[in-house]
């Protein structure tokens, strides 16, 4: 498949990925020492929900649009608040017009001592990323291949932080690649947090990622999956994340919020949330 950000900005998979991303950053911020976020496939960073690509699919309406309209229970609402607030910051008129991608969400949450490296190779997206991040002391856009960046920028000087790996799945071996590269990256930076996203169309690719990471000896791997029954069955129906070295209590956070998101965004019997340990604390 070919998962291009502009067509899917703000959809249920973005909501899933970005809720988890924001929860990780919130946990990192609990300690005063600085950290670094490395976004290997950052995209353009900010997406108009009125652009032809977003209008063509309308996927954001069943994602961030539905999430913002839903009334959650108190515990879930508290956990979702930093993500919702970050999205609202880019829509000051109170009406959804744009959706921030992972690099801008990260930048919005960084403290003065923290840093972001956002990597994008495709020329149009890379130029947009540089514009959208702007001249910011804490954030830097770099035109580089994401897999090269994964080798080049770890471990970071801060020694604490998160690497987000979110490739477009254009190549048939992408599931094998993300598992193998995450395992190698963990070998270079055993204390780093790694967040890898994958689409779910069947179980073969996701199970390959899980088994290869486990076989590589990565000791702590949490898996988070969200499935929906969309009004358009031809669209992507499932989103998955592997989290290597999840921060303390992240599993508790996700155990609360994932079923709530599935209930808010999904339809009928096709909606589900899965949270389990591939290796480690389970």
Write the pLDDT tens digit of every residue in 75-106.
999 999 999 999 999 998 888 999 999 999 99
Q: Is the dihedral of CA 126, 50, 97, 16 positive or negative?
A: negative
Check if the beta carbon of residue 38 is closer than 8 Å to that of residue 120.
no
Report whether pLDDT(55) > 50: yes
What DSSP designation does 247 have? P
Pinpoint the alpha helices (H) of the chain. Answer: 5-8, 12-28, 52-57, 64-69, 74-89, 102-109, 123-133, 146-152, 174-188, 204-215, 250-265
Measured CA to CA, the distance from residue 186 to residue 183 in angstroms comes to: 5
pLDDT bracket for residue 45 (50, 70, 90): very high
Cα separations (Å) of 81 from 77, 149, 175, 237? 6, 31, 32, 25
Report whether pLDDT(34) > 90: yes
Q: What is the mean pLDDT of residues 240-259?
A: 97
Cα separations (Å) of 94 from 46, 185, 275? 17, 40, 33
CATH number of 5-279: 3.40.50.150
Q: What percent of the chain has pLDDT over 90?
A: 81
Write the pLDDT tens digit of every residue in 168-203.
898 889 999 999 999 999 999 999 999 999 999 889
Q: Where exactly are the structural domains of the chain?
A: 5-279
| pLDDT recorded at residue 166 | 94
Cα separations (Å) of 275 from 68, 252, 279? 23, 10, 12
| pLDDT recorded at residue 233 | 61
| pLDDT recorded at residue 236 | 82
| pLDDT recorded at residue 234 | 64
Which has the closest alpha carbon to 129: 194, 62, 44, 200? 44
Give every CB contact of residue 262 below 8 A, 6+ residues apart in sequence: 226, 227, 228, 271, 272, 273
pLDDT bracket for residue 2 (50, 70, 90): very low
Q: What is the mean pLDDT of residues 28-51?
A: 95
Structure tokens at 149: 């960046």
Q: What amino acid positions are annotated as catalytic residues?
A: 166
pLDDT bracket for residue 266 (50, 70, 90): confident
């Amino acid at each position: 498949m070919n998962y291009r950000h502009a067509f899917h900005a703000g959809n249920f998979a973005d909501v899933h990925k970005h809720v988890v991303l924001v929860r990780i950053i919130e946990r990192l911020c609990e300690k005063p020492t600085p950290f670094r976020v490395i976004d290997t496939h950052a995209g353009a960073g900010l997406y108009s929900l009125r652009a032809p690509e977003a209008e063509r699919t309308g996927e954001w309406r069943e994602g961030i649009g539905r999430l913002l309209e839903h009334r959650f229970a108190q515990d879930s609402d508290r956990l979702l608040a930093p993500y919702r607030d970050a999205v609202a910051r880019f829509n000051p008129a109170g009406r959804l017009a744009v959706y921030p991608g992972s690099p801008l969400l990260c930048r919005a949450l960084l403290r003065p001592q923290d840093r972001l490296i956002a990597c994008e190779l495709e020329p149009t997206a890379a130029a947009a990323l540089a514009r959208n991040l702007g001249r910011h002391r804490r954030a830097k856009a770099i035109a580089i291949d994401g897999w090269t960046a994964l080798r080049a920028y770890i471990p970071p000087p801060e020694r604490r932080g998160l690497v987000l790996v979110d490739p477009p799945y254009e190549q048939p071996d992408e599931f094998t690649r993300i598992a193998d590269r995450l395992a190698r990256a963990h070998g270079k930076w055993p204390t780093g947090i790694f967040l890898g996203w994958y689409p779910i169309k069947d179980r073969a690719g996701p199970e390959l990622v899980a088994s290869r990471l486990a076989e590589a000896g990565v000791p702590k791997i949490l898996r988070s999956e969200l499935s929906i029954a969309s009004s358009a069955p031809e669209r992507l129906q499932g989103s998955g994340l592997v989290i290597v070295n999840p921060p303390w209590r992240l599993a508790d956070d996700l155990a609360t919020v994932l079923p709530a998101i599935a209930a808010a965004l999904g339809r009928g019997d096709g909606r589900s949330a899965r949270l389990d340990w591939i290796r480690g604390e389970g």
